[in-house]
Chain A
Amino acid sequence: MSYETLYGMLPGYAGIADLTARAQEINLALAQEQITPDEQASLLEDLVRTQVIVDEAQYHEQKLFANQLIKVLASLPMPS
Chain B
Amino acid sequence: MALLKKLLVVSSIALTACAVKFDPVEHSRMVDVRHRVHQAQTEQHCADPKMARYQAENLDNDATWLLFYTQYIPNNDSAEKMATELKKTTEDFVKRYRDTEKPPSKVFCELRLKNIATQIEIIQRTNARRPR
Contacts of B2 in A (CB 8 A): 78
B111 to chain A, nearest CB (A): 5
Whether A74 pairs with B9 at a CB distance below 8 angstroms is yes
Known: A70-B12, A78-B5. A64 touches B19 (CB 8 A): yes
Question: How many of A's residues come within 8 Å of B, CB to CB?
Answer: 37
Interface of B is mostly: helix
B71 at the interface (CB under 8 A from A): no
B32 at the interface (CB under 8 A from A): no
Cα separation A38 to B112 with both chains bound (whole Å): 13
B88 at the interface (CB under 8 A from A): yes
Cα separation A41 to B12 with both chains bound (whole Å): 45
Cα separation A67 to B5 with both chains bound (whole Å): 15
Cα separation A22 to B111 with both chains bound (whole Å): 9
Whether B125 pairs with A46 at a CB distance below 8 angstroms is no
Cβ contacts A to B, 22 pairs, < 8 Å: A16-B118, A29-B108, A34-B108, A35-B111, A39-B104, A43-B112, A45-B92, A46-B112, A49-B89, A53-B82, A56-B82, A57-B78, A59-B78, A63-B18, A64-B19, A67-B12, A67-B16, A70-B11, A70-B12, A74-B5, A74-B8, A79-B1
